[in-house]
Amino acid sequence: MSKPKPPISRTLSLFLFLGILGLVASKSTIEPCSNSDSCNAMLGYTLYTDLKVAEVASLFQIDPISLLTANAIDISYPDVENHILPSQLFLKIPITCSCVDGIRKSMATKYKTRPSDTLSSISDSIYSGLVSADQIREANSISDPSVLDVGQTLVIPLPCTCFNGTDNSLPAIYLSYVVRAVDTLAGIAASYSTTITDLMNVNAMGSTSIKEGDILAVPLPACASNFPRYSADYGLIVPNGSYAITASHCVQCSCGPGNLNLYCMPASLAVSCSSMQCRNSNLMLGNVTVQQSTAGCNVTSCSYGGYINGTIVTTLSTSLQPRCPGAQQFPTLIAPPSSVSKDSIFAPAPAPQSDGRGTSGTIAPTSSVVPSTGSLPGVTANAPSGSVSSDASFLVKPLARAPTILLLALFAELMVSML
């Protein structure tokens, strides 16, 4: 007969057990599916090192152009595919989400192992926590993870959801977002212009607590297309504030900021493309003419209807609207990023004002421990004012954190050895 353990020790081991489980099992949102339809989805990806645009695209086997347009980066920038994107940059990666064994996921990404890769370096670093080492091991039936052959091709299963391309009956595309230690649910909701309630519903969460490494499905408002099922770009959906290039790089479709109607026109890089003129008219794809009459505004537009059998389908339509539409607005494009602002790495996502849903208790305190550079005279005295580049602060902060990380690591090790 074993002696009953003293209560304190029992509580402690339960705590340790849960703590270690917590280190291993992160939550992610699982969407069951039954049909073979796929959809477009996004991954929230943080670069583990400096990489060229084309290198990031090849990690996920996607078109570099689609990577750029999904992030509202201007593709007319010279030699943009060889532009080097900075380590720690956060990118949205457009992928195709399929139905595999009754669950939504993407199995299209393959990774060729290099010397010194381990399953955990591939999962935590190269794919920034979007996949776990165990998931890679299972997907590739690896019996001994300690022996990875260099040059071995691994399937990288990646999380994605479709939810029918809608959120609260409005068109949406879902971003798989890996929670960082600094994140709060309120902060994530605010950064993606959604609400805590919506995030909780989408992810079937019972409470607002989230943990580093959890993967949330975040709905992004988007412009949907309604091309016929047999068109090559069937299901095209473009998130608000970005654009996409389709029809063999001939057509460019953008979304927002004024409304969520997909707007397509000839792409700037279009070279040898089939005709983009609407039949029986002199209007080109994207052209809109308006005619004010006593009955209202007679709007004629030449719009894009999908890429079918190598043909750009155009549709001429006329409608009578109460008011004439203003000039077409376009999302703001950015130059390819070369540096990462320190806020996007270490600061918590902006906390919302208050969405009046009684969630104020979960909002992270807004007072910052680290005063922002230059806001306090005492701080600027320590650093040459005006010379602190974002690179410098990027270096300083991890150093300042190092002792804490070391302590945490030692503590974790201690916990493990005590088991």
Q: Provide the binding-site residues for ligand NAG, judged by CB under 6 A.
A: 164, 166, 193, 221, 230, 240-241, 256-257, 260, 265-266, 284, 286-287, 291, 293, 298, 300, 308-309, 318, 320
> Cβ closer to ligand NAG: 61 or 193?
193
Least Å from the CB of residue 29 to ligand NAG: 17
The amino acid sitting at 278 is C
In this complex, which beta carbon is closest to ligand NAG, that of residue 14 or of residue 324? Answer: 324
Rounded to the nearest whole angstrom, what is the least distance from the CB of residue 95 to ligand NAG in the complex? Answer: 20
CB of 200 to ligand NAG, least distance (A): 19
Instruction: Kindly state the smallest distance separating residue 92's Cβ from ligand NAG, in Å.
Output: 14
Residue 257 CB, nearest approach to ligand NAG (Å): 4
Of residues 44 and 241, the one with the C-beta less far from ligand NAG: 241
Between 99 and 130, whose beta carbon lies closer to ligand NAG?
A: 99
Select 141 or 293, whichever has its Cβ closest to ligand NAG: 293
Least spacing, CB of residue 219 vs ligand NAG, in Å? 10
Closest CB to ligand NAG among 41 and 265? 265
Q: State the nearest-atom distance from the C-beta of 282 to ligand NAG, in Å.
A: 8
Residue with Cβ nearer ligand NAG (154 or 278): 278
